[in-house]
Structure 1
């Protein structure tokens, strides 16, 4: 019988250190807010040199698991859905910049996501939730003619609709997608009388949420997003 070759690959010391530090964090031996052991402590504990420790610590920082400040010990960061998703912001922007197909895929994903969120909001919204949504629309109305403020209120409204679900991951996904799309918003198209349509469409969405009519809320949201979809384009 012919034996299959299975090469044993020697790992870098920094990878070994990284694996052990990850285990300490995952098992709760190092908790959010805790200072990491000093470089010297880690060198003695693992029997490796300073370069391996520093490389492993930088890898942890790149993962968003620790914060490193000059002259201070690194600290374990608290992980949230938002902090995890924000780790891919730069990669997402590069992907979108390189490919018009990626932008179209993102718009499709957002439409699918928003349809679910608005149905969830219609099922769960309480009077206080509806009042918050209406207050944001009034802030948006007051920002007519002020592009940045108008768009910021627009983003808050959609994220607040996601927040009605009570699921922080939905909120973080909403914030992320809106942030990625914002870079590709063609302002000349926004400020051509289209903002009044946005206000009217938002009002229809909120009316349906208040009535608890998931079908009407979804239909109003789809109409709104399909119209506004054309306002996003790749910048050369």
Structure 2
């Protein structure tokens, strides 16, 4: 069955042509694109079409737009990709029923895996760095913002030991997306000492190069946190 030909907006054509040139390497990472006027002349279109095409590339994380400068092709990184998803992810968590539970399940799945990899691959330097983070974390127990920041750093460092740069970027992004959830959880009465003790058990398993033990300790830590969060929500709504 033949489908009808769909009419495309002009900016979509400009977008696709620019995207193809970026993919082909005609515009390398960090290179500036032609000016708006040059693109208008090259493609025979008006300024609105060029601007809309550039904005679409910007929203996709392909180019960076700074006022007064030509658009620049960004260096692709996992951090940039995660930052592009941030607004939508936070909106999803706040508005969709069940999204937070799905998110927590995803975090347990991911971080038990990174703990397992850390136990397999950690060097003595990696382990020393984790223990230093715990010491700093303990010293910051009276500073709410610093305590939460170091909690994030601990989980990100474990993910980084894997050697896969995507893992720490995802762990960090998830922490930021659900920051409202983590604040009430990490700073719950008595939770700080329990968090530190659980972090120590995770590091002990990593230091022993015990993948199953590290994964189990991480799973217990995250599931305890999830249970605590449900108790906080129940108490606040009852």
TM-score tier (shorter)? over 0.9
| Alpha carbons of structure 1 residues 189 and 87: separation in structure 2 relative to 1, 3 Å | closer
Higher mean C-alpha deviation, range 133-142 or range 39-48: 39-48
Structure-1 residue corresponding to 2:222: 225
Extract unaligned runs of 5+ from structure 2.
none
1:187 equivalenced with 2:170 (yes/no):
no
Structure-2 residue corresponding to 1:115: 112
CA displacement, residues 37-81 of structure 1 (integer Å, 9 cap, x when unaligned)? 011211121121211111111111111111112221111111101
Matches within 5 A, 1:55-204: 55-187=52-184, 190-204=187-201
* 4+ residue segments displaced more than 2 Å: 185-191, 230-236
Q: CA deviation at 1:99?
A: 2.7
Structure-2 residue corresponding to 1:11: 8
* Partner residue of 1:37 out of 34, 38, 63: 34
Query: Which whole-Å CA distance do the structure 2 matches of 1:184 and 1:9 have between them?
Result: 44
Query: Which whole-Å CA distance do the structure 2 matches of 1:19 and 1:8 have between them?
Result: 17
8 A contact 1:186–1:231 mirrored in 2: no
Structure-2 residue corresponding to 1:207: 204
Partner of 2:8: helix, strand, or coil? coil
Extract unaligned runs of 5+ from structure 1.
none
Taking structure 2 as the reference length, what is the TM-score of the superposition? 0.92
Taking structure 1 as the reference length, what is the TM-score of the superposition? 0.93
Q: CA deviation at 1:222?
A: 1.3
Which one has the bigger helix percentage? 2
Query: Which whole-Å CA distance do the structure 1 matches of 2:229 and 2:31 have between them?
Result: 43
8 A contact 1:190–1:231 mirrored in 2: no
What's the C-alpha RMSD, in Å, of the aligned pairs? 1.8
8 A contact 1:181–1:232 mirrored in 2: no
CA displacement, residues 121-157 of structure 1 (integer Å, 9 cap, x when unaligned)? 0000000000110010001000012111111111100
8 A contact 1:118–1:214 mirrored in 2: yes
8 A contact 1:185–1:231 mirrored in 2: no
| Alpha carbons of structure 1 residues 55 and 189: separation in structure 2 relative to 1, 3 Å | closer
8 A contact 1:119–1:217 mirrored in 2: yes
Number of aligned positions between the proteins: 233
Query: Which whole-Å CA distance do the structure 2 matches of 1:188 and 1:81 have between them?
Result: 27
8 A contact 2:14–2:53 mirrored in 1: yes
